[in-house]
Amino acid sequence: MKKSLYIIIVIAFTLSLFGQNSNEKLKISHLKGDFYIFTTYNLYKGVPVPANGLYLVSDSGVVMIDTPWDTTQFQPLLDSIERRHRKKVVLCIATHSHEDRTAGLEFMKQKGVKTFTSKQTDSICKTTKAKRPEFYFTKDSTFKTGQYSYQAFYPGEGHTKDNIVIWFEKEKILYGGCLIKSVEAIDLGYVAESNLKAWPATLKTLQQKFKKPDFIIPGHGEWKNAKSLEHTLNLLKHKKK
């Protein structure tokens, strides 16, 4: 009975995500200023699931955080960005080793984009034969592109052992990736590589370090509600019971 109810909830959630745009493969939404969220879709356990990424338009080009999960949308995303902003993507950072973050790294590199992950992520990608970046950083790093600066920060293990976040201090935007679950999430999703014990402390580190973000972007699902970090903590608390 519980399994059937879960399936019904998942299907309803999926239908609400797609609404009247069930054939939409790439969605670009304005966040604020020069910041945009791009969403592509792929199957998880046979159900279409949205995956979020972010891009920033600077004077020196476009910065992309994570790549599309749907491999057919690499070029359409680049085309959409160039058509809309008259600029090319110049840098891409993937926030952990799973393909919903890294699938496009090789493609972006071939297009002349400088691709980055943490060294830990690159090591995992090498072992699992996932797509790898051209460059990696060995510690928390601050990047500067055009008029914008942003920080790649490793808060600890959670969804994976290598998950990082990206913080835009001036704009108060925290890109959490899959470390943070959408407020719509009814469970923690894929946890085979998660550290459930460490995850709550990792999120509390984020709360202490990056105070009062205006936006928190999760890896999947709704991103307009800034309560997603607290929601993830609640999911973890429930998981322990």
pLDDT in tens, 66-107: 999 999 999 999 999 999 999 999 999 999 999 999 999 999
pLDDT of residue 176: 98
pLDDT category at 239 given cuts 50, 70, 90 is confident
- The CATH number of residue 218's host domain is 3.60.15.10
Which of 241, 231, 127 lies closest to 182, judged by CA? 231
Angle between helices 228-240 and 199-209 (to 10 degrees): 160
Instruction: Tell whether 214 is covered by a domain.
Output: yes
Instruction: Tell whether 12 is covered by a domain.
Output: no
Instruction: Tell whether 9 is covered by a domain.
Output: no
Helix (H) or strand (E) holding 158: none
Identify the three-state secondary structure at position 41. strand
Cross-strand partners of 51 = 40
pLDDT of residue 17: 44
pLDDT in tens, 143-176: 999 999 999 999 999 999 999 999 999 999 999 9
Residue 168: partners with Cβ closer than 8 Å, 6 or more residues away: 35, 56, 148, 150, 174, 175
pLDDT in tens, 104-132: 999 999 999 999 999 999 999 999 999 99
pLDDT of residue 179: 98
Tell me the average pLDDT across 228-232. 98
pLDDT of residue 23: 58
- Number of structural domains (the chain) is 1
pLDDT of residue 6: 38
Instruction: Tell whether 15 is covered by a domain.
Output: no
Percentage of residues in the chain having pLDDT higher than 70: 90
Burial of 55 (0-12, 13-18, 19+ CB in 10 A): buried
Tell me the average pLDDT across 3-18. 39
pLDDT of residue 44: 82
pLDDT in tens, 25-72: 999 999 999 999 999 999 888 889 999 999 999 999 999 999 999 999
Bridging pattern class, strands 35-44 and 47-58: antiparallel
Return the residue matching tokens 């110049």: 90
Which of 53, 41, 52, 38 lies closest to 14, judged by CA? 41
Tell me the average pLDDT across 188-207. 97
pLDDT category at 7 given cuts 50, 70, 90 is very low
Q: Which amino acid is at 120?
A: Q
Instruction: Tell whether 2 is covered by a domain.
Output: no
Cross-strand partners of 102 = none
Q: Is the pLDDT of residue 22 over 60?
A: no
DSSP code, position 157: -
- Arithmetic mean of pLDDT over the chain: 91
- Integer Cα distance of 81 and 91 in angstroms: 13
Instruction: Tell whether 166 is covered by a domain.
Output: yes
Q: Which amino acid is at 171?
A: E
Instruction: Tell whether 159 is covered by a domain.
Output: yes
pLDDT of residue 45: 80
- Integer Cα distance of 222 and 226 in angstroms: 10
Residues of the domain holding 114? 22-240
pLDDT of residue 240: 61
Q: Is the pLDDT of residue 8 over 90?
A: no
Instruction: Tell whether 14 is covered by a domain.
Output: no
pLDDT of residue 201: 98
